[in-house]
Amino acid sequence: MKIYRLFKCIPFTAIFIVFSIVSLAQSSDTTAIRTVMNAQVKAWNNGDIDAFMQTYWKSDSLLFVGSKGPNYGWQTTLDNYKKRYPDTIAMGKLNFTILEIKLLSAEYGFVLGKWHLARTIGDIGGHFTLLFRKINGQWFIVADHTS
């Protein structure tokens, strides 16, 4: 009778262990995505657009959708940032409010948030959605839609 009870508990224990492992992996990935977002804020607030762009997928397939529509490519995105924010006065100080991080799979994550630039020339802000992809164990932004 005792052996029967032991075998009866094994499926529950196995399911619990699997869910625990999955939960830890998701928590780790969510933390890694937040770390990327924090690196963006730090780079931006240091006036370093080049470092800010290191969080983006360095590919011609990177998608950035802004007020003028979609643009493709890492270099195009970098050039557009530098054109729109030529100096630290235009850049101001960046703040993100993360509204949601949703892991879509082991490879993809979605982020919804708000951005705000505090600037002496006038504050601006809006919302963003980001698609992250885990490439060689590191999370990168592969699509950015910012309003």
Instruction: Output the domain CATH number for residue 89.
Output: 3.10.450.50
How high is the pLDDT of residue 88? 97
Over residues 100-118, mean pLDDT: 98
| Structural domain for 116, as ranges | 2-146
How high is the pLDDT of residue 27? 80
Which residue type does 20 have? Answer: S
Global confidence as pTM: 0.82
Instruction: Give the residue, 140 or 4, on which the prediction is more confident.
Output: 140
Number of domains in the chain: 1
Q: How many percent of the chain have pLDDT more than 70?
A: 82
Over residues 127-139, mean pLDDT: 98
| Token couple for 12 | 């529950």
Interval 14-69: pLDDT, tens = 444 333 344 444 589 999 999 999 999 999 999 999 999 999 999 999 999 999 99
How sure is the predictor about 3, in pLDDT bands with cuts at 50, 70 and 90?
low
